[in-house]
Amino acid sequence: MYVAIVPNRSSPPALLLRESFRQNGKVKNRTLANLSHWPAARIEALRRLLRGEFDQAADLSVAPQLGPVFRLLFVLHRIAEGPGIGRALGHSRLAKLGLFLVLARVAHQGSRLSAVRWAEDQAVAEVPGLGKFDEDDLYAALDDLAARQARVEKALFRRYLTRRGQPPRLFLYDVTSSYLEGEKNELGAYGYNRDGKRGSVRWPPGSSGTS
């Protein structure tokens, strides 16, 4: 099969899909479809297909090659830009590793070693701008965050004031060992309280901590 261009005197040429065949020892052609209404890019793709340029791509014996996962890490990175987490942490390699730990905690929730293994499938070079790293690098990033914790918290708080215009009414930090008491909380549920408080609820329902 091939794409034939048939000139017309008073109109654009016709683009026809044709095939050749033998009949009574003679080579003849017949039209299979009129492609004149197709866009030029699709016509060119069909020409390349008929020439066999895509045969290797359709070969099922060739294993597909997959690159690093881009979408998840990219979306989380963009979400982190809203409260200014990346800006508060800084632009050093340790700061970028710290940001990666935050993103990995949201999506992966594992150990430092498992975060390194998780990064092998993620586009860490394209999104956070990191090369290869190991768990020792992540622990070094944690030490760096601990040393700069007060400055990072103040930067995030200033960012919040800039966005909202007033300080928050309630600020929860590391609520895994905290609890709140009140009445008529439709979202609360009784559960295990790690602090030994009896008759208190856990938040969110299903978590190990209470609030």
Residue 96 domain flag:
yes
Domain span including residue 34: 2-50
What's the pLDDT at 8? Answer: 83
Is 36 found in the same domain as 76? no
pLDDT band at 75; cut points 50, 70, 90: very high
Q: Tens digits of per-residue pLDDT, 83-108?
A: 999 999 999 999 999 999 999 999 98
Task: Estimate the crossing angle of helix 93-107 against helix 71-81, to 10 degrees.
Answer: 110
Is 160 found in the same domain as 105? yes
| Residue pair 125/77 in contact by the 8 Å Cβ criterion | no
What's the pLDDT at 29? Answer: 87
Claim: this prediction has a pTM higher than 0.85 = no
Peptide bond into 204 cis (omega under 30): yes
What's the pLDDT at 49? Answer: 85
